[in-house]
């Protein structure tokens, strides 16, 4: 089975442009960018509750503490949120009632929380409609890890950010591209 496509900046902007012109733009943008900017798995995005992400002050937290039941391997972990994704989440929060902290953060059109499967299908639909071939619900996570590797972040830090238990799993996520190879030979 082929790995999910790693998106370049232009492709990500293309998907975001498609999202901006459709219903539920703030929700779809926030969900997608959580995978691209924080490396969350689609199942982890679907499992988020309002109180996981927003503090008592109503603003997005600096970090999300995922409980074991919210993660793939059933191991709790902390996900760090950078300033850009916090801004996105704060913008999205204007469209929801943050007072019910145990409710799902993201809802379907039927007002149910997404399941991991329905969200994976939704991401596949968004990528396909935006014309990004080979992209899937895992593309954001692969793009996150590859971009950080390209910026020189150590594989050990990447492993911790991804919540992997084995360094070889993290290494398989890193998409080696021509830009990385060019930069490498310039180091000599």
Domain edges within the chain = 9-137, 141-186
- Active-site residue identified among 5, 27, 77, 141: 141
The tokens of 94 are what?
């204007």
133 — pLDDT class (breaks 50, 70, 90): very high
Confirm whether 103 is a catalytic residue: no
The tokens of 20 are what?
């901006």
Residue with tokens 């913008």: 91
The tokens of 41 are what?
């798995």
Average pLDDT for 29-37: 98
What percent of the chain has a predicted confidence (pLDDT) above 70?
Answer: 99
Average pLDDT for 105-129: 93
Average pLDDT for 70-88: 94
1 — pLDDT class (breaks 50, 70, 90): low
Count of CB atoms situated within 10 Å of the CB of 66:
20
87 vs 78: CA distance, rounded Å: 19
- Active-site residue identified among 75, 138, 142, 165: 138
Q: Is 144:36 a contact under the CB 8 Å cutoff?
A: yes
Average pLDDT for 25-33: 97
Q: Is 100:53 a contact under the CB 8 Å cutoff?
A: no
Confirm whether 173 is a catalytic residue: yes
Helix (H, G, I), strand (E, B) or coil at 161: helix
Confirm whether 41 is a catalytic residue: yes
Q: Is 3:142 a contact under the CB 8 Å cutoff?
A: yes
**Nearest alpha carbon to residue 34 among 21, 24, 44:** 44
How many angstroms separate the first and last alpha carbons of the chain? Answer: 36
42-57 burial by CB neighbour count: b if 16+ within 10 A, else e? bbbbbbbbbebbbeee
87 vs 163: CA distance, rounded Å: 23
- Active-site residue identified among 22, 65, 67, 72: 72
Confirm whether 128 is a catalytic residue: no
pLDDT at 176: 81
127 vs 174: CA distance, rounded Å: 20
Confirm whether 181 is a catalytic residue: no
Confirm whether 36 is a catalytic residue: no
User: What is the CATH number that goes with domain 9-137?
Assistant: 1.10.443.10
């Amino acid at each position: 089975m082929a790995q999910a496509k790693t998106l370049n900046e232009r492709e990500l902007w293309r998907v975001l442009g498609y999202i901006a012109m459709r219903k539920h733009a703030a929700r779809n943008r926030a969900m997608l960018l959580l995978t691209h900017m924080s490396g969350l798995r689609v199942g982890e995005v679907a499992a988020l509750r309002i109180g996981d992400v927003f503090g008592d002050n109503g603003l997005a937290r600096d970090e999300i503490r995922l409980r074991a039941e919210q993660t793939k391997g059933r191991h709790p972990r902390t996900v760090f949120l950078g300033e850009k994704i916090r801004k996105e989440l704060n913008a999205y929060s204007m469209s929801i009632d943050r007072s019910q902290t145990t409710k799902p953060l993201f809802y379907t059109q039927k007002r149910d929380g997404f399941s991991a499967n329905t969200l994976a299908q939704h991401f596949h639909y968004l990528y396909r409609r935006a014309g990004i071939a080979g992209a899937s619900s895992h593309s954001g996570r692969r793009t996150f890890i590859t971009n950080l590797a390209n910026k020189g972040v150590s594989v050990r830090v990447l492993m911790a950010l991804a919540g992997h238990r084995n360094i070889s799993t993290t290494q398989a996520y890193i998409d080696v591209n021509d830009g990385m190879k060019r930069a490498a030979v310039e180091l000599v």
